[in-house]
Amino acid sequence: MLKYTPYSYSKLSTFDCPYKFKLNYIDKIKVFTENKALEKGTRIHQIIELYNPYSKTLPLFEYKLLDENEQKECEQLALDFIDSELGQSYLLNDGAIGHEIEFGLTTKLLPCNYYNKNAMLRGKIDFFIKEGNVGTVVDWKSGKVKDQAYMSNDQVILYAIWVFNTFADIDTVKADYVYVEHGERHRFEFSRNNYNNYSQLYAQKIKKIESETEFNKNPTRLCDWCDYKGKHCNPQ
C-alpha cells in the first residue's frame, strides 16, 4: 500500500526538498500565497479555454489582485494569442480533442478517471490534439520565456505516459510549452519505443518518496522564494 498517493507532477517535484514535502503533504501545513503573476497566468489560461470566438465574448471573472488596467492588459494578451497564427494552429486544429483534460493512472499506469480511488498519479493537460499516430499535449505558459536547455521535461513525460496508454495507435507524443505572451514555444518529443524509460522515471521517483524516513531539508537558492521560509523553516 502506497502512503502518499495520489501523486502529481507538482507533488513529486516538491520532494526536491524532502522537508518541504513533509510540511505540505504529511503535516498538511498550507501556506499558499496568491500574487499578481499567478492570477494573470490563471486568467490567461481561462480565457484561452472559455473564450467564444463566435460571439466574441469573454468569460466573466472576479479579479482579486489585478487593477482595471492590468485586467484589460491580461485579457488583450490572451485575445491576441487566440487570433495569432500560432494560437490558431492549435485552437483551430482539426485534430483538437479539447481543453483541461484531467486524467488518472493506476499503479500499473492504466488510465482511469481523475477522481477514481485507484488513481495513483493525476494530471491535467491544458490542450490536446490527435493527428493520426501523433499526439500533441500543450501547456500554456505566461511570463518570460525560459531557456529550453534548462527546462525539465518530467511534467510532460507524465502526459506522454497517459497518451501512450490511452491511444494504442499513437507512436509519437509532441509536448509543447507555448509562451502565450511572446508567441514562442519549446517542444519535446517522446517515442513509444522509449516508453519503459518514461515509466521507470516515475516509478523511481515514487519509490524514493515512499521509502523516505528522514525528510531532511535541502537548502538551495530557491529557498528565498519558498512560502515555508521563516515561520515554518529556517533553511540554514
Tell me the percentage of the chain whose pLDDT exceeds 90: 81
Chain centre distance of CA 96: 19
Q: End-to-end distance of the chain based on CA atoms, in angstroms?
A: 35
pLDDT digits (tens, 9 = 90+) for 72-102: 999 999 999 999 999 999 999 999 999 999 9
Q: Residues 197-236: pLDDT tens digits?
A: 999 999 999 999 999 999 999 999 989 989 899 889 988 7
pLDDT tens readout for residues 144-186: 998 987 788 999 999 999 999 999 999 999 999 999 999 999 9
Distance of alpha carbon 21 from alpha carbon 33, whole angstroms: 17
Q: How far apart are CA 107 and CA 8, in angstroms?
A: 13
* Radius of gyration, CA atoms only, the chain: 19
Q: pTM for this one? A: 0.93
Helix (H, G, I), strand (E, B) or coil at 68: helix
Give residues with Cβ within 8 angstroms of 226, minimum separation 6.
17, 20, 233, 235
Q: CA-CA distance, 21 to 39, in Å (whole number)?
A: 24
